[in-house]
């Protein structure tokens, strides 16, 4: 994921748009993956927060949105690696 500056309004709009594209069902899949990989209590809870706020990123801070997007990217990336190894 590219580096975004949470103090830049344009970057904040971009990360909010990326967050708003994720659905609650997609978050459910990410939560299940995170639990399988034992990613930790805090990470799983922030994904659950993302699931509750799916599509309405304006209620989350840019810092929280970045945390969620970084986790989803990490889960996607690791999932791709496992698929390639099989």
According to the model, what pLDDT value does residue 66 have?
Answer: 94
Count: domains in the chain: 1
In which region does residue 4 sit, left (phi positive, over 0), alpha (psi from -120 to 50) or beta (all else)? beta
Whether 21 is in a domain gets the answer yes
Whether 19 is in a domain gets the answer yes
- Find the length of the chain: 86
Digit-coded pLDDT (tens) for 9-39: 999 999 999 999 999 999 999 999 999 988 8
Whether 64 is in a domain gets the answer yes
Supply the DSSP symbol for 60: S
Whether 78 is in a domain gets the answer yes
According to the model, what pLDDT value does residue 84 have?
Answer: 43
According to the model, what pLDDT value does residue 76 have?
Answer: 87
Q: Which domain holds residue 16?
A: 9-85
Least confident of 20-24, 31-35, 52-56, 75-79: 75-79
Tokens read off for 61: 């801070």
Q: What is the 3-state secondary structure (H, E, C) of 2-64?
A: CCCCCCCHHHHHHHHHHHHCCCHHHHHHHHHHHHHCCCCHHHHHHHHHHHHCCCCHHHCCHHH
According to the model, what pLDDT value does residue 78 have?
Answer: 74
> pTM to 2 decimals?
0.81
């Amino acid at each position: 994921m590219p580096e975004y500056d949470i103090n830049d309004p344009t970057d904040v709009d971009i990360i909010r748009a990326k967050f708003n594209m994720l659905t609650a069902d997609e978050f459910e899949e990410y939560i299940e993956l995170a639990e399988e990989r034992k990613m930790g209590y805090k990470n799983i809870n922030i994904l659950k927060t993302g699931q509750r706020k799916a599509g309405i990123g304006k209620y989350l801070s840019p810092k929280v949105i970045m945390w969620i997007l970084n986790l989803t990217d990490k889960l996607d990336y690791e999932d791709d690696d496992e698929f390639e190894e099989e």
